[in-house]
């Protein structure tokens, strides 16, 4: 019941805020709503931290940061294996085109020698991916390299 009451009060406050912004440029309205939402989330973060619900406090702190600064917190940004980038010039496997794997490198990754059959390539890939798969404690980057090596050798 207290949560429902708090929700009704919050909606009423938001409606009052929206009424105060009638006739205002939409960009100013969005900025004001973002600021007021961020302030509300900061207050909620403080209340959650005081009450001992630290996990929820971190969630609301991240949302408040997003509203107030306009970008995700540094700890929530994800980068590929080579750091930040805009994703341009990337192949289907997610690696930059200039980093395309050569046949010699693919053979080295899979531990094979020149002239390996398709069956040997698949067997080496299967053996390695079972050891390096992210579900088994490996990394996405290594699994992608092993998959790319198989694709290069099988010319996919």
Homologous superfamily (CATH) for 99-153 = DnaJ domain (1.10.287.110)
Residue 29 has which token pair?
A: 């309205």
Tell me where in the chain the CATH 1.10.287.110 domain(s) lie.
99-153
C-alpha 101/C-alpha 31 separation (Å) is 47
Can you name the residues that pair with 90 across neighbouring β-strands? 96
Phi–psi pair at 97, nearest 5 degrees: -60, -30
- Tokens representing residue 87 in the block: 């994703």
- Print pLDDT tens along the chain (156 aa): 677 778 887 787 777 766 666 676 777 767 777 787 888 888 888 988 899 888 888 888 888 887 787 766 555 555 555 555 544 444 455 544 446 888 889 888 888 888 888 899 999 999 988 888 888 777 888 888 999 999 998 886
């Amino acid at each position: 019941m207290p949560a429902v009451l708090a929700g009704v009060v919050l909606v009423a406050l938001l409606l009052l805020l929206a009424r105060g912004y009638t006739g205002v440029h939409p960009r100013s309205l969005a900025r004001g709503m973002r600021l007021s939402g961020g302030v509300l989330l900061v207050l909620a973060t403080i209340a959650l931290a005081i009450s001992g619900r630290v996990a929820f406090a971190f969630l609301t702190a991240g949302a408040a940061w997003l509203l107030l600064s306009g970008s995700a917190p540094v700890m929530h940004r994800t980068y590929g294996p080579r750091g930040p980038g805009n994703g341009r010039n990337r192949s289907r496997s997610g690696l930059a085109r200039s980093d395309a794997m050569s046949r010699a490198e693919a053979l080295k990754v899979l531990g094979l020698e020149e002239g390996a059959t398709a069956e040997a390539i698949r067997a080496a890939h299967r053996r390695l991916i079972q050891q390096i798969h992210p579900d088994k404690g490996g990394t996405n980057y290594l699994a992608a390299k092993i998959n790319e090596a198989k694709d290069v050798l099988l010319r996919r």
